[in-house]
Structure 1
Amino acid sequence: MIDAQDYAGFARFLSECCGLVLGENRQYLVSSRLSRLLDEFGFNKVEDLLRALRQSPDAKLKSRVIDAMTTNETSWFRDVYPFETLRQVVLPELAAKKRPIKIWSAACSSGQEPYSISMIVSEWEAACRPKVVPVSITATDLSESILAEARSGLYDGLSIARGLSAERRQKFFDTVEQGHQIKADIQRRVRFQKLNLMDSYALLGKFDIVFCRNVLIYFSADTKRQIFDGIAKQMDPGGYLFVGASEAVGSYTNAFESIRTPQGNMLRRR
């Protein structure tokens, strides 16, 4: 088990490099998630790992540590209502402006959220032919390995079952030897790239819709303010932000107003 001093040092490192806050008494979590990594790189304990990271920064090692500590819990159409609101309310409203719609899926993990968005766009387009306006999706995450998984668009039987109906599985996936491959038209709409949410978002461009869901609970209050301010700068007035059902925004920014719809709540850029 990691001792208190090493735990405190590792918690500081994680906060400094990617903003994640471990909190107190999470030694077992750190030990369990880093044990395989320590063995692989030949370290006896977390103190040795920290020393290596600080004395001679190794991009590969740092990336592997972040991968090990990042929770990539996700599912298809998670919570349902944001995707129904997107299809029934947001896309029709924005399409009326007769210009391309740009969507950002932040902290996209292994791709279920941006691909779910792309499926919704496909269903919406099919219901309002001829095609109204082009829609593009940028999906970002901190982890290189999880982005590689997302880009592949290939999922096993366990992950494909989480939140995906049999109808959508048949419509949007091909069954291949390795598992289930998302269809090319759904995949083409999504562009994946690496991004640390503590860095600048300026190079991403402007977005009409942002999904940043179930990730900010891992950040400090100051980092949440920084992230919400950064997101707001990438959106024009009237754009929409979706956050997790239990995530409050009002304490960290006044750039958004809450909008109620029959499907659920969302936030609109003032």
Structure 2
Amino acid sequence: MILSASEYSEFQKLLHTKTGILLGDNKQYLVSSRLSAYLKENSLESFGDLLKVLARPGSNVLLQQVIDRMTTNETLWFRDGFPFSYLMSHIMPELKSKGQSRANIWCAACSSGQEPYSISIALEEAYSGAFRHKIPAQVDILATDISSRILKQAQRAEYQPLEITRGLSPERQKRFFEQSSTGSFLLKPELKKRVKYMTLNLMQLPYRSINRYDVIYCRNVLIYFSAELKIQVIKGMADCLKPGGYFFLGASESMPSSIPGFEMVRCNPGLVYRKK
């Protein structure tokens, strides 16, 4: 379905206002490919009709459905490696040495669950080995995303063969998953129970419903935000981070110089930021 220049401009503004996502000026094809079928399903003749419906009061359900189709959910297990290895080798032992028996982790923009479940897998490996005395006895993981659809998928913790191979060794696949009669892979219940899910739009500042966290992962999502909004979101998350807490950005991202109160820590490889 064809998307006119004026319709695309209006949609750009709508998506940025509601989600923070900043679409480039040459992404009409992306919007058209992701939403054309949705328009037909809802008997809408054009993108103009969709924009009119979204402008009406009480259109939150429709807006959420559009957001679900527009948000990118590209992810894999143990992405970049160091955010998980450094968590277990340095951060968890540091918390335990301070006398903490419990730790809280927040995974923002968690997509279909690979990041929080990678953390849970790393913890399970630690608890079952000689390392278990060096980490807090309980670790709670909150996973949030703007897409209610992708969160439901994450909660099921069911993955197709192609998804399960992206970053997971055969040994981990065998140890932490059960294969269903249909060929999909189900994460074992003891790993699921550490993770709680909640729908959260990072635009909804301040994050009043969020607790104080020892570690925050906000990786590979702020690259879609404007520079100004990226700063606002990081400052909002910093308010949820305990003094001395750690903040992971994506491997290609960096902390804006205008944000005070963080020191850079080298993970060799990679970087993490510690709140002063």
- TMscore range, shorter length: over 0.9
Matched, 1:143 2:150: no
Structure 1, unmatched stretches of 5+, are: none
CA RMSD of superposed structures (Å): 1.3
The answer for the alignment partner of 1:113 in structure 2 is 115
Query: In structure 1, which of residues 124, 127, 139 is the aligned counterpart of residue 126 of structure 2?
Result: 124
Paired residues of 2:103 and 2:136 also in contact (CA < 8 A): no
Query: For residues 230-269 of structure 1, what are the structure 2 equivalents within 5 Å?
Result: 230-269=236-275
Contact 2:92 2:136 survives alignment (8 Å): no
8 Å CA contact retained: 2:231, 2:256: no
Contact kept, 8 Å, 1:109 with 1:146, in 2: the verdict is yes
Unaligned 5+ segments in structure 2 are none
Matching of residue 177 in structure 1 with residue 181 in structure 2: yes
Residue identity matched to 1:188:
K
Answer whether contact 1:102 1:207 (CA < 8 A) is retained.
yes
Does the CA-based 8 Å contact 1:141-1:193 persist in structure 2? yes
Structure-to-structure mapping, 1:190-201, within 5 angstroms: 190-199=195-204, 200-201=206-207
The answer (yes or no) to whether the contact 1:87–1:121 under 8 Å persists in 2 is yes
Please identify runs of 4+ aligned residues in structure 1 that moved more than 4 A: none
Task: Give the Å deviation of 1:119.
Answer: 0.7
Deviation at 1:133, TM superposition (A): 2.4
Q: For 1:252 and 1:235, how far apart are their aligned partners in 2?
A: 18
Pairs within 5 Å for 1:25-36? 25-36=26-37
- Report sequence identity in percent: 44
Equivalents in 2 of 1:129, 1:16: separation in Å? 45
- The alignment covers a number of residue pairs equal to 270
Return the alpha-carbon distance in structure 2 between the equivalents of residues 252 and 175 of structure 1.
Answer: 48
Residue aligned with 2:231, SS: helix
CA distance in 1, matches of 2:178, 2:91: 29
CA offsets 1:230-264 (integer angstroms, 9 cap, x no match): 11000111100111011121334123211012342
Structure 1, residues 105-161: CA drift from partner, whole Å, max 9, x if none? 000000000000111111122232357421110000001110000000111111111
Give me the TM-score of the superposition, normalised by structure 2.
Answer: 0.94
Q: Could you state the TM-score of these two structures normalised by the residue count of structure 1?
A: 0.96
SS in 1 for 2:209: helix
Q: Secondary structure at the match of 1:109?
A: coil
Pairing 1:205–2:235 present: no
Query: Does the 8 Å CA contact 2:251/2:270 hold for their aligned counterparts?
Result: no
The CA deviation string for residues 71-120 of structure 1, in whole angstroms up to 9 with x for no partner, is: 00000011111111111111111121222100000000000000001111
Measure, in 2, the Cα distance between the counterparts of 1:110 and 1:58: 25
2:41 is aligned to 40
Matched, 1:95 2:96: yes
Deviation digits for residues 203-243 of structure 1 (CA, Å, limit 9, x no counterpart):
11000000100000000112111100111000111100111
